[in-house]
Structure 1
Amino acid sequence: MPLRYGLIENPLTSDPDDYMAVTFDNQTVGIDEIVERMISRGSTVTKAEALGSFEEFNLAVCDIVKSGFNIKTDLFSVYPTVAGVFNDASEGFNSSKHSINLNLRAGQRLIEAVANLSVEKVTVTESKPVLQLLTDLKSGAINESATIGQIVSIKGALLKIAGEAPSVGVFFIAADGTETRIADFVKNKPSELLFFIPDDLAVGSYDVEVRTVLPSHKSVSVGQLSNKISIIA
């Protein structure tokens, strides 16, 4: 399956004729789908055995990261860093003003796989926020879950929240239609939003929407993440 992309006006430059590519309708797969792909290749490993091995791998990676080590594999590299401002050379780490972030980079085998990825251009019928990746910065989960009280990143295009009207912001929409609005942002840029999941947001499954007024538009434009997000404690 090719990587589908479309062209939208580029909000990052002053040139009105500039366009940027954003990806659309590309399926996200999880562990179950990866294991099914493994089995389809004729592997003698059963699905249960493969899932068990994945879990052991996940536990080992988390344990190594918790020990403060970097990780480098053929698929990815992970290394923790410390962020925040230190007022002088003697100041120690303070969790109220400093944080530990995880940086992830693709490994050589993934880089080589992308080199052979085919693409397909699709027509963009309207300008609206494009939500591509929602990442829980605590767990590292992508387009799956977000942790109450923790910071979340949404990456994509045309995301910047314009103004303070109650009609704009990031909205978590429960199954019964109840909406929780996020209006305070650590980062508010066209390509990325950073914000905290409210402490009073109930555990459950949510649709996620970005609603904003785009440049040269008067009405609110709405973009939705293709995956439902599980809010966890």
Structure 2
Amino acid sequence: MLKYCLRENLLTAKPDDYMAQVTDSRVFTLEDIVDRMVKRGTTVTRTDLAAIMQLYTQECTYIVEEGGSLNTPLINTSFSISGVFDGADDSFDAKRHSLNLNISSGLALKEALTKTKAEKTETASTDPYITAVCDKLNGTTDTVKIGSVMEIIGSRLKFDPKDEEQGVFAVTGTNAIRCAAVVENKPARLIVILDPAVPPGDFTLEVRTKLDSNGKTTTKTLRKGYYHKTLKAII
């Protein structure tokens, strides 16, 4: 069951417009998937399953490294290139251009989506909510240059910059790097510098705050809100 809550829709002018946000969606690792396969019953051992899944993952990685695209029951991939080229004779330059991997659902996942049921939670969320992110120097919305100015649009975003538990965090796996340089700190807009310590690659943007919905009163609860799109940090 996919749970969701309602929050204000900032994209429309009507004050009573709300939009749905998914909540409490559990993340499953490769180990979790192997465990589920074993519990369902199979003649293949857990060790063999883990090895097969690892080989499958590795081979898909090799295909992408070679510039190939995947067309599987789970995912389909394609490539695109961001950046401006100076004339027809210009070539790819990692300092000015970036490769993007575009991923869409395969047929099996599309079929699974038709069977997914949604359940509304009782109350609307009061957590921070991010609607858009932009690299202000490059004008990109899917990639952010490390050390660049990042604009974050949403609601209930304001935080106390003196409290290290609060702020804007770039999350990669179990590592969360706080963007300490804050240019603007308002409930509907934040402008921060993507910290130089953030490694190149995919990351999740998260805002953490203890301020109430008006951004004025400090509460005891640390509320978190993350951007629904995966961003890529580039050099």
Code of the residue aligned with 1:199 in structure 2: it is A
5 Å-filtered alignment, 1:8-87, equals 8-87=7-86
Contact preservation (8 Å) 2:181, 2:192: no
Contact preservation (8 Å) 1:128, 1:158: no
Q: CA RMSD in A?
A: 4.0
Structure 1 CA distance, aligned partners of 2:13 and 2:70?
40
Taking a change above 3 Å as real, the CA distance of residues 179 and 86 of structure 1, as seen in their structure-2 partners, is closer
Contact preservation (8 Å) 1:80, 1:103: yes
1:219 equivalent in structure 2: 216
Q: Percent same amino acid among aligned pairs?
A: 31
Structure 1 CA distance, aligned partners of 2:197 and 2:35?
37
Gap regions ≥5 residues in structure 1:
132-148, 202-207, 226-233
Return the TM-score normalized by structure 2.
0.64
Taking a change above 3 Å as real, the CA distance of residues 196 and 25 of structure 1, as seen in their structure-2 partners, is same
1:139 equivalent in structure 2: none
Contact preservation (8 Å) 1:170, 1:183: no
2:161 equivalent in structure 1: 166
Return the TM-score normalized by structure 1.
0.65
Contact preservation (8 Å) 2:9, 2:18: yes
Structure 2 CA distance, aligned partners of 1:200 and 1:5?
31
Aligned: 1:210 with 2:207: yes
Worse-superposed segment, 81-90 or 16-25? 81-90
Structure 2 CA distance, aligned partners of 1:161 and 1:183?
15
Structure 1 position 184, deviation (Å): 7.5
Structure 1 position 17, deviation (Å): 1.3
**Could you say what secondary structure the match of 1:93 adopts?**
coil
Aligned: 1:118 with 2:117: yes
Gap regions ≥5 residues in structure 2:
131-145, 200-204, 227-235
2:4 equivalent in structure 1: 5
Structure 1 CA distance, aligned partners of 2:155 and 2:180?
13
Contact preservation (8 Å) 2:181, 2:195: no
Code of the residue aligned with 1:180 in structure 2: it is R
Contact preservation (8 Å) 1:213, 1:219: no
Code of the residue aligned with 1:102 in structure 2: it is L
Structure 2 CA distance, aligned partners of 1:90 and 1:179?
40
Structure 1 CA distance, aligned partners of 2:90 and 2:156?
35
**Could you say what secondary structure the match of 1:74 adopts?**
coil
Contact preservation (8 Å) 1:76, 1:107: yes
Instruction: Summarize deviations over 1:99-157 as a string: whole Å, max 9, x none.
Output: 001110000110100100111100235422258xxxxxxxxxxxxxxxxx699xxx9x9
Code of the residue aligned with 1:166 in structure 2: it is P
Taking a change above 3 Å as real, the CA distance of residues 172 and 85 of structure 1, as seen in their structure-2 partners, is closer
Q: How many residues align?
A: 186
For residue 199 of structure 1, the aligned residue among 197, 200, 204 is: 197
Code of the residue aligned with 2:19 in structure 1: it is M
Contact preservation (8 Å) 1:81, 1:101: yes
Taking a change above 3 Å as real, the CA distance of residues 104 and 7 of structure 1, as seen in their structure-2 partners, is same
Structure 2 CA distance, aligned partners of 1:34 and 1:84?
37
Taking a change above 3 Å as real, the CA distance of residues 171 and 92 of structure 1, as seen in their structure-2 partners, is same
Code of the residue aligned with 1:3 in structure 2: it is L
Instruction: Summarize deviations over 1:181-232 as a string: whole Å, max 9, x none.
Output: 25579xxxx8xx998563378xxxxxx8504799x8333884156xxxxxxx
Code of the residue aligned with 1:121 in structure 2: it is K
Structure 2 CA distance, aligned partners of 1:95 and 1:51?
35
